[in-house]
């Protein structure tokens, strides 16, 4: 696999701990890049749908890869979103090469880039949060149904289908007005003197120039890793969208998951030999 060296990579809306997550695609992308800075732009872990009974090995491998990247000296910024809003209580917390923030401002080659998740400009989230959660739950059930259908289709040698794409247009997320969403962001960017804005939240990748009061502002939505598999990347003094379309790899099953009994035995042994017990 060819490793691409880039200055900054921004990804959002992975939704770990849900059936909608596509960990193999995320893992292959992360292994294919060597950035100086990686920005996780919200909704990385989905606390709305989080279950202690569902965090499979492939998703844990994504966490392990992020840890490996930090060990290599890559700075990771975790920008909080609405699905991982519990982390907003820990904003500006630094743990090694990981920093949790609510927004991020980067000065790149004399140009200011504003990175944030985007839910702050979504009126539905703030006015009818319960409706947004119902929509998220419905979407989660549809993805589980989709997995079952595709499992059957693979068994009979038929191509996979995506059921939830045709239904998604009726969900809460699709009710966001793109023009008002983008213009609201552009107005704030103009006021604060930012030349580029990058958000996520809508799951719709986009790259365009906003014209606000006669001034140009570059707008990027880094999309998601549930359906579109896109990232915003900064390389050679330019921001652009990257579309990941490589086939999934079958990574080795090298992640050990000890049983709870063995885990506690190991913990007790460690504490005894360190004179804690």
pLDDT in tens, 9-26: 999 999 999 888 999 999
Q: How many CA atoms lie within 13 A of 181 on its CB side?
A: 24
- pLDDT, greater one: 66 or 270: 66
Entry pTM: 0.78
pLDDT in tens, 152-202: 777 788 776 666 555 555 444 444 556 788 888 999 999 999 999 999 999
Mean pLDDT taken over the chain: 84
C-alpha R_g of the chain: 20
Say which DSSP state 57 is in. H
DSSP letters spanning 3-23: PEEEEEEEE----BTSTT--H
């Amino acid at each position: 696999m060819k490793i691409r060296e880039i200055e900054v990579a921004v990804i959002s809306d992975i939704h770990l701990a849900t059936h909608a997550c596509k960990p193999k695609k995320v893992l292959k992308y992360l292994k294919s890049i060597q950035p100086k800075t990686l920005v996780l732009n919200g909704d990385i872990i989905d606390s709305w749908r989080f279950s202690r009974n569902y965090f499979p090995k492939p998703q844990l491998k994504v966490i392990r890869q992020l840890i490996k990247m930090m060990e290599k000296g890559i700075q990771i910024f975790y920008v909080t979103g609405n699905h991982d809003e519990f982390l907003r209580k820990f904003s500006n917390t630094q743990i090694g090469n990981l920093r949790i923030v609510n927004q991020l401002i980067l000065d790149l080659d004399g140009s200011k880039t504003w990175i944030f998740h985007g839910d702050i400009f979504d009126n539905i989230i703030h006015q009818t949060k319960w409706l947004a959660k119902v929509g998220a739950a419905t979407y989660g059930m549809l993805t589980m149904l989709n997995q079952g259908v595709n499992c059957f289709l693979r068994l009979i040698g038929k191509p996979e289908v995506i059921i939830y794409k045709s239904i998604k247009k009726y969900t809460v997320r699709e009710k966001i007005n793109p023009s008002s969403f983008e213009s609201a962001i552009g107005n704030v960017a103009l006021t604060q003197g930012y030349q580029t804005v990058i958000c996520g939240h809508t799951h719709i990748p986009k790259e365009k120039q906003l014209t606000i009061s006669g001034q140009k502002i570059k707008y990027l939505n880094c999309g998601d890793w549930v359906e579109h598999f896109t990232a915003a990347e900064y390389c050679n003094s330019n921001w652009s969208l990257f579309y990941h379309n490589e086939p999934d790899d079958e990574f080795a099953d090298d992640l050990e998951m000890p049983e709870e009994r063995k885990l506690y035995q190991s913990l007790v042994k460690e504490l005894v030999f360190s004179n804690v017990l």
